Structure 1
């Protein structure tokens, strides 16, 4: 069971003005945490810090009390990020994108085959396994990225706007799959601008004017 904590963090990109200030929030195992806010409010910035991609100017990001220094450390601690822009390799098939990621994080080729098949099936993409990413629709690409994230079997799962291009049925399927991850003890953080998706989570934090607030 893994806990990720952001404590009194000031987050900014380069030398620019802070995007978020004084941010304190904990992603707890077994919980689905929604991060909401309008476009540009800092949702991706917060998840980037949680994923080890962005170092706070001040404050800390820790996993079970150990400070994250960079993305490699985050990966080693089981922090999985499903990025907003999918991050898929266009020259690979849907299945290859997933299998390569599983092997890169220590899985065996047999693990990769099994987890790839299971995750694609869970997202309704078995028929697209051998299609190149450029041959898939936007929604199919988004579901492939989600399948890859699930296949990595992380202890913390950060999902950045992963339902934005999905219809209602696929959006609910993804929420159910993220809930299943939480049920197995994963700390799940879901950035979303969709009120219905946020309502399906256990807790919600809202970003506005550079500040984080909790919503009941």
Structure 2
């Protein structure tokens, strides 16, 4: 796997002329989990979207390795997986199909996609729900399916946005351990969270407030 540093360089993001993020500087490194913390509205999701290539900055840049991030097509091709806060699942597909479709779309052979899907669903305690429609699952189960889809991609970078908000303590701990395992295999992991315990388990922490960032743990 090609390891990728995600470097945020003096990033400012604005909506309708109003700055949501201002002069953010941080580097997310392979083998480490970077927590992005802060109150609601601080810009955590905006930062992850900028890293994923979904938002263009007003100034500054996000770099993926040596390349400046331009758009989502570029980051997908480079192996950047995003688990969004709203889970982004297709309600009319099963848990298994939601994971499989993403892998097949990325060019993973069908046999390997099926194996990866079964593995991550089992890791997240969802083997018994593989054939259930997403719309039949609880909020916490849906969140775990979205996490499974992100993990199954085995990307160079994993961006996880508030992926433990619907989970109980046991499953929060499990998900944090799986994010750590992604880092241990060489991925760059960025985890936006409002959970102080989850953040404390990460290797570094960027705290956002009023659109500005402070690296409280490096």
Does the alignment reach a TM-score above 0.5?
yes
Alignment of 1:34-183 (within 5 A): 34-183=35-184
Q: Following TM superposition, by how much is the alpha carbon of 1:24 offset from its aligned partner in structure 2, in angstroms?
A: 1.0
TM-score (norm 1): 0.98
The alpha carbon displacement at 1:12 in A equals 2.0
Distance 1:210 1:2 in 2: 25
Give the deviation of 1:16 after TM superposition: 3.7
For residue 114 of structure 1, give the secondary structure of its aligned residue in structure 2.
helix
Secondary structure at the aligned position of 1:185 is classed as: coil
Tell me if the contact between 2:49 and 2:55 (Cα under 8 Å) persists in the aligned partners: yes
Query: Which consecutive residues of structure 1, in runs of 5 or more, have no partner in the other structure?
Result: none
Q: Shift of residue 72 of structure 1?
A: 0.6
Find the aligned partners of 2:112 and 2:210 in 1 and give their Cα distance. 44
Q: How well do the aligned residues superpose, as a CA RMSD in angstroms?
A: 0.7
- The aligned counterpart of 1:23 is 24
- The CA distance in 2 between the partners of 1:44 and 1:12, in whole Å, is 13
Cα deviation, 1:159-214, whole Å, max 9, x if unaligned, reads 00000010010000001100100000111000000100000000000000110001
Match of 2:10 among 8, 16, 32: 8
Q: Contact 2:26 / 2:215 at 8 angstroms: preserved in 1?
A: no
